[in-house]
Amino acid sequence: MIRSLVLFVAASAAFDAVASAQSETVAFVGAQLVPIVGAPIDDGVLVVDKGLISALGARSDIAVPAGARVVDVTGKVLMPGLVDTHSHVGGGWGADSSAPIQPGVRMLDAVNCRDSGLQRAQAGGITTLNIMSGSGHLMSGQTIYVKNRDKNTIEELCYRFEGGEPMGGMKMANGTNSQRAAPFPETRGKSAALVREAFVAALEYRRKVQAAGDDASKLPARELDKEALLELIDGKRVVHHHTHRHDDIVTVLRLSKEFGFRVVLHHVSEAWKVVDEIVAAKAPCSLIVIDTPGGKLEASEFDARSAAELEKRGAPELVGFHTDDWITDSRVFLRSAALAVRAGVSRETALAGLTLHGARMLDLGGRVGSLEAGKDADFIVLSGDPLSVYTRVEQTWVDGAKVFDISDPRDRTWADGGWGAGMPRMQATCCLGDAEDPR
Amino acid sequence: MKCFARVFAACALTLALDAQDLAVRAELVHTVSGEPIQSGVVIVRAGKIAAIGPAARTPIPENFRVLDAKVVTPGLVDAHSVVGLAGYLNQPQDQDQLDPTAPIQPELRAIDAYNARERLIVWLREHGVTTLHTGHAPAALISGQTMVVKTRGETVEEAVIVPCAMIAATLGENSRAGGDKSPGTAGKQAAMLREALIGAREYQRKLAAAGDDASKRPDRDLRKEALLDLLEKRVPLLITAQRHQDIASALRLAKEFDLRIVLDGAAEAYEMLEPIKAAGFPVILHPPLARFAGELENASRATPKKLLDAGIPFTFQSGYEEYVPKTRVVLFEAAIAASHGLGAQAALRSITLDAARILGLEARLGSLDVGKDGDLALYDGDPFEYTTHCIGTVIEGVVVSEVVR
């Protein structure tokens, strides 16, 4: 009861940190720390206090605070929790088939936070996700930025805007996925025209609101779709734009410029063909890495070297990755970056692409994505080199709380699969205490 | 019998291709059949492995082309794919892996549907895959035949080494017909397969009864002829079955008709180790990177190790993908198994020698031994590491890829 009251009062930016912060001080000692900002630190110490990183450095430089619980992670590699900038776990659907542009729809209202996909993501070391609707619409709804805690409700998982409301971007798409019979567009030209029309209408709506001034009687009726579009124009909400082909990519940049919305390019299979344009627009790229080109026309020219090309043009900060789970598997998200290294990008850019760059794409770079004092204690303990196939994610920590441990048989099932692994997570509740999952 | 004649013809054709004499030097030579050789040399002459051993004791004949690599393995064997029938565009014109007009069509030959110039074949070849067991998709009760090819050539005739390798059957959700069509249930699937095989037995009986009297012979029936290949054990039935109850149905069917079968997919095989082991059939396991959803919701990356420990012969497959990626790569799949308990050595053996055995081609493929085909994959590091590249592929002495993948 007291806990609930605290939660209720703390409806602010600190809401979620308070919800699951661990009061204990814990020191992780002996691992190689990969902070992302700065060089790796051998034989390091990472101190976690109240769900935040309070200090880190070489063992010789950092004193373990008196009374701290010490976790020996000698021989392991400890790095920030991974940020998956594009995921479909949670089983939710956004927009329906009634219209191609539905910005008022929220994934907040659709995600099943007990979906096994979130557990698989924990097993893959993913601590922050951008969960979104599909690419079958020009605009399929608001995405939700999720902290991958074990909780009962989506409210307890979501990041918050400064005002306290659940934080997310907007999912858009162009190219063939969002083209079909009316009322959907059947061509690329029509796709762009419909998007422009929607933004123009939102601006008209704003003009009317402004003209009404303080006179409530003159206000137009509230329209959720247009309010959401205005959040894009105002830069509050970032557009996460599915786009594959070189010409579609350039169309996104054109529309972004016309209406001033901030955009992260997603998938970007043909980024390597229009690197100069992407770099000039400073458009971050959340890249997908697939095993084989093809499977659909727009992915037939996929090349994992896009990350390396962006780096070569002096824009490593634009490189990020995502799982697009189910397209690739959350449990092997590290692999996406490793395959980009295989295709030429540096280790440093690849690891930043999995963490800090992704966090920045979600406006969360000040809070997660690197090991720095004051940031959320979201990190993973690996058995070895993050880019090796033989490395396993052994532990995943969120806000200083362990949410995945490969030595726990239940967690192991999420990691490897097995009987019942696809079932939603069972919840231990107040009344059952630490009851075992009946499976 | 017809199948065998074709194999022979295909072998003869193979030799006519441009086999080159070459040598591969590598810091590590994985023979697979024996211990790895440090600083080794493989000599390929007229398309076959002529010598293998430590560099110091294995002289390279003059005028042989020499390739260098950190690591060399036998050419990889992808034990089940649809590539060549299925193309990378994933558009109607390049998808020939499934004819949906009838549930049982064992007469559909893979050789009549294979596009040897398909880009996915190039992609697999560039990752060290030299042998591909490909054919009709696991998406109908009996979708058609499969074949074994080398990943080379511009025509199927240049590629094929076993024109009719297996007949592909599928139990479970993927071979249920929609609407009011049959089969709509697991029970109906088994009944239809049994009926078809019983029909083939009748045909067999009539053929036998007619003896040499052509006037008494039943009319030729391509469908029944193909099923006779199963009943007379000339080819195995490849049964894709993911759930434990479908695996049980496959074993039941094999017993009733005394069939040779190969279990495919087998996502829940870890629940069926004893009956599979007792039946003695091998398993071509689902890709460890396959989506663990639908019939694969209980799949596990720990299964390969369990099959190994149980002594059940198994290998991996690139499998059948309906969307992105259009094919998987067995090199990547074995790598995931290696890191999930199987270990690198067993993982490499699974996609070389073990796969060759399951295809009945171990006399010719799967390990680096004198007399076997000169099929090699070259790497700049541990083949399974994400950041290692396949830097060359050799098929029967011909360098078929030199790109760095």
The structure tokens 């009404």 sit at A212
pLDDT for A425: 75
For residue B323, which residues of chain A lie inside 8 Å, CB to CB? 295-296, 327
The closest of A291, A158, A46, A157 to B333, measured between CA atoms, is A291
The reply to whether B298 touches chain A by the CB within 8 Å rule is yes
| Those residues with Cβ within 8 angstroms of residue A186's Cβ, 6 or more apart along the chain or in another chain | A179, A180
pLDDT for B19: 66
Both B260 and B234 in one domain: the answer is: yes
Mean pLDDT of chain B: 95
Residue B263 lies in a domain: yes
Domain carrying residue B62:
1-74+366-405
Determine the distance in angstroms separating the CA of B383 from the nearest CA of chain A, rounded to an integer: 11
Interface predicted TM-score (ipTM): 0.94
Determine the distance in angstroms separating the CA of B238 from the nearest CA of chain A, rounded to an integer: 24
Both B15 and B96 in one domain: the answer is: no
Both B176 and B262 in one domain: the answer is: yes
Domain definitions of chain A by residue range = 2-80+377-412, 82-361
A423 — pLDDT class (breaks 50, 70, 90): confident
Binary contact (A297, B387; C-beta < 8 A): no
Residue A431 confidence (pLDDT) above 80: no
- Rounded to whole angstroms, the Cα distance separating A107 from A103 reads 11
Both B231 and B342 in one domain: the answer is: yes
**How many domains is chain B partitioned into structurally?**
2
Question: Three-state DSSP class for B377?
Answer: strand
The reply to whether B87 touches chain A by the CB within 8 Å rule is yes
Percentage of chain B modeled with pLDDT above 90: 95
Residue B350 lies in a domain: yes
Per-residue model confidence as pLDDT tens digits over B15-40: 444 667 999 999 999 999 999 999 99
CA A353 from centroid of its chain's CA atoms: 12
What average pLDDT does this structure show over A326-337? 97
Both B389 and B300 in one domain: the answer is: no
pLDDT for A359: 98
pLDDT for B170: 98
Both B102 and B196 in one domain: the answer is: yes
pLDDT for B377: 98
Q: Give chain B's largest Cα–Cα span.
A: 69
> Before A166, cis peptide (omega within 30)?
no
- Rounded to whole angstroms, the Cα distance separating B334 from B305 reads 11
Residue B378 confidence (pLDDT) above 80: yes
Determine the distance in angstroms separating the CA of B297 from the nearest CA of chain A, rounded to an integer: 5
pLDDT for A271: 98
The reply to whether B385 touches chain A by the CB within 8 Å rule is yes
Residue A5 confidence (pLDDT) above 80: no
pLDDT for B5: 44
Which helix H or strand E contains A72, and what residues bound it? strand A69-72
Nearest Cβ partner of A421 from B119, B292, B340?
B292
CATH number of the domain residue B49 falls in: 2.30.40.10
Higher-scoring residue by pLDDT: A10, A367: A367
Residue B7 confidence (pLDDT) above 90: no
Binary contact (A294, B120; C-beta < 8 A): yes
Nearest Cβ partner of A418 from B88, B119, B302?
B302
What average pLDDT does this structure show over B221-239? 98
Determine the distance in angstroms separating the CA of A318 from the nearest CA of chain B, rounded to an integer: 21
Residue B322 lies in a domain: yes
Binary contact (A294, B90; C-beta < 8 A): yes
Residue B154 lies in a domain: no
A288 — pLDDT class (breaks 50, 70, 90): very high
Both B267 and B342 in one domain: the answer is: yes
Binary contact (A295, B90; C-beta < 8 A): yes
The reply to whether B245 touches chain A by the CB within 8 Å rule is no
Instruction: Supply the CATH classification number for the domain A82-361.
Output: 3.20.20.140
Spell out where A97-186 has E strands: 126-131, 139-142, 144-147, 170-173
Residue A109 confidence (pLDDT) above 80: yes
Both B198 and B290 in one domain: the answer is: yes
Homologous superfamily, domain A2-80+377-412: Urease, subunit C, domain 1 (2.30.40.10)
The reply to whether B362 touches chain A by the CB within 8 Å rule is no
Task: Please give the residue of chain B at the shortest CA–CA distance from A294.
Answer: B88
pLDDT for A23: 74
Residue B14 confidence (pLDDT) above 90: no
Residue A284 confidence (pLDDT) above 90: yes
pLDDT for B20: 76
Task: Please give the residue of chain B at the shortest CA–CA distance from A292.
Answer: B325
Determine the distance in angstroms separating the CA of B88 from the nearest CA of chain A, rounded to an integer: 5
A-B contacts (CB, under 8 Å) = 109
- Copy the structure tokens of residue A203: 């601006």
The reply to whether B404 touches chain A by the CB within 8 Å rule is no
- Rounded to whole angstroms, the Cα distance separating B256 from B259 reads 8
pLDDT for B18: 60
| Those residues with Cβ within 8 angstroms of residue A298's Cβ, 6 or more apart along the chain or in another chain | A175, A176, A177, A244, A245, A248, A269
Nearest Cβ partner of B386 from A387, A417, A418?
A387
Residue B161 lies in a domain: no
Per-residue model confidence as pLDDT tens digits over A25-36: 999 999 999 999
- Rounded to whole angstroms, the Cα distance separating A197 from A174 reads 15
Both B316 and B174 in one domain: the answer is: yes
What average pLDDT does this structure show over A136-150? 97
Percentage of chain A modeled with pLDDT above 70: 92
Residue B67 lies in a domain: yes
Determine the distance in angstroms separating the CA of A37 from the nearest CA of chain B, rounded to an integer: 23
- Rounded to whole angstroms, the Cα distance separating A226 from A202 reads 5
| Those residues with Cβ within 8 angstroms of residue B317's Cβ, 6 or more apart along the chain or in another chain | B78, B79, B80, B81, B264, B284, B285, B286, B287, B330, B333
Q: A-side interface with B, Cβ within 8 Å? A: 290-297, 299-300, 326-327, 329, 332, 335, 338-339, 341-342, 387-392, 416-423
Residue B157 lies in a domain: no
- Copy the structure tokens of residue A44: 């390091």
pLDDT for A21: 54
Nearest Cβ partner of A422 from B298, B301, B326?
B298
Both B287 and B311 in one domain: the answer is: yes
Both B139 and B243 in one domain: the answer is: yes
- Copy the structure tokens of residue A256: 């972004």
Binary contact (B298, A388; C-beta < 8 A): no
For residue B243, which residues of chain A lie inside 8 Å, CB to CB? none
Per-residue model confidence as pLDDT tens digits over A150-197: 999 999 999 999 999 999 999 999 999 999 999 999 999 999 999 999
Per-residue model confidence as pLDDT tens digits over A371-402: 999 999 999 999 999 999 999 999 999 999 99
Mutate: best of B93, B322, B324, partner A, most A CBs <10 A: B324
CATH number of the domain residue B346 falls in: 3.20.20.140
What average pLDDT does this structure show over B273-301? 97
Both B82 and B231 in one domain: the answer is: yes
User: Which residue type sits at B265?
Assistant: G
B73 — pLDDT class (breaks 50, 70, 90): very high
Determine the distance in angstroms separating the CA of B107 from the nearest CA of chain A, rounded to an integer: 27
Residue B195 confidence (pLDDT) above 60: yes
Task: Please give the residue of chain B at the shortest CA–CA distance from A340.
Answer: B387
Q: Which of 337-356 (B) contact A at CB < 8 A?
A: 338-340
Task: Please give the residue of chain A at the shortest CA–CA distance from B330.
Answer: A291
For residue A292, which residues of chain B lie inside 8 Å, CB to CB? 88, 120, 123, 325-329
What average pLDDT does this structure show over B97-126? 98
Which helix H or strand E contains A246, and what residues bound it? helix A246-259
Residue A17 confidence (pLDDT) above 80: no
